Amino acid sequence: YRLIVQIRIEDFMSELNLMVTISDRNQIRRFLAFYKEYSVNIILVSMGRGTAEDDVLHSFGFEASEKAVLFAMVTTKEWKAIKSGLEKQIKIDIPGTGIVFIVPVSSVGGKKQLQFITEGRDFEKEEESTLKDTKHELLVVIANQGYTELIMDAARGAKAGGGTVIHAKGTGMKKYEHFLGVSLASEKEMIFIVAKSEDKSSIMRAVMDQAGLGSKAKAIVFSLPVTETAGLRLMEQEDD
């Protein structure tokens, strides 16, 4: 039998965060070079486009240009140094430069996946997150392109609702393939699923069991705490 393990971040390491960087596409190389100085590996890069109205864009110093979204994992301790560097080197506070924010990760679906997204770094345990007792969680699944239906079938079988898919490209992942013992395709899909906290573990286990590293999907799943929601009341009433 294959052992399915869900790792609670507060039981394994200091607080881990998903760091998201949004900037104009012509700034990608600049941010990648900066993060390399801080030994931060960008897990995924996705493309997008700003949607704000012209007057809003003008007030923040932005133009309606193509955007790049970078995803990486950092500890709270690492974030403090990165934030200082962003302010001093990148001048992130100047309007139009970009936006960087972090969201605490509450759990990761397996030890090998944890080693991969943290690049094998060792961390010491800190205090538990104050956001762990939330009613909903955002499950983030990173998988090879073309396996969304497999993943969603597994998730729905464990009481998940719908999901949202974003196409992305992996960067710098070859170096860390030995943590997983598999070959990773560069074209990726990110699937976002909002679920009740009580259903989180079963959904993560289902995805890992049916679409994890033993499948062609090679899925990695982790969760982020959701503090407030709007628009889920009808779904919850139907469940009841």
Distances (CA, A) of 77 to 84, 107, 108, 124, 181: 12, 18, 19, 11, 29
The pLDDT, as a whole number, for residue 164 is 84
Q: CA-CA distances (angstroms) from residue 53 to 56, 57, 61, 62, 149?
A: 5, 6, 12, 10, 35
Question: 68 CB contacts (<8 Å, ≥6 apart)?
Answer: 21, 22, 23, 24, 25, 27, 28, 45, 46, 47, 48
* More confident site: 41 or 240: 41
Output the pLDDT for position 150. 96
Paired tokens of 57: 């864009």
Q: What is the pTM of this model?
A: 0.71
For the ranges 5-19, 80-94, 170-184, which has the lowest average pLDDT?
170-184
Cβ distance 216 to 227 under 8 Å?
A: no
DSSP assignment letter at 148 = H
**What is the mean predicted confidence (pLDDT) over 152-177?**
80
CB 204 within 8 A of CB 107: yes
| Contact criterion met (CB below 8 Å) for 218 and 170 | no
Q: How confident is the model at residue 123 (pLDDT cuts 50, 70, 90)?
A: low
Q: Is the pLDDT of residue 190 over 60?
A: yes
What are the pLDDT digits (tens) for 44-89? 888 876 655 555 455 555 555 678 889 998 988 899 999 999 999 9
CA distance 150 to 147: 5
Gap between the Cα atoms of 181 and 98, Å rounded: 36
Alpha-carbon distance of 56 to 234, in angstroms, equals 32
Per-residue pLDDT at 184? 52
pLDDT of residue 48: 74
Mean pLDDT over all residues of the chain?
Answer: 78
**So what's the pLDDT on residue 13?**
44
Apex 119 CA angle, 7 and 124, nearest 5: 55
**Is the CB of residue 109 less than 8 Å from the CB of residue 6?**
yes
Give the dihedral sign, CA 224/114/76/25: negative
Q: Which residues 6+ apart lie within 8 Å of 231 measured at CB? A: none
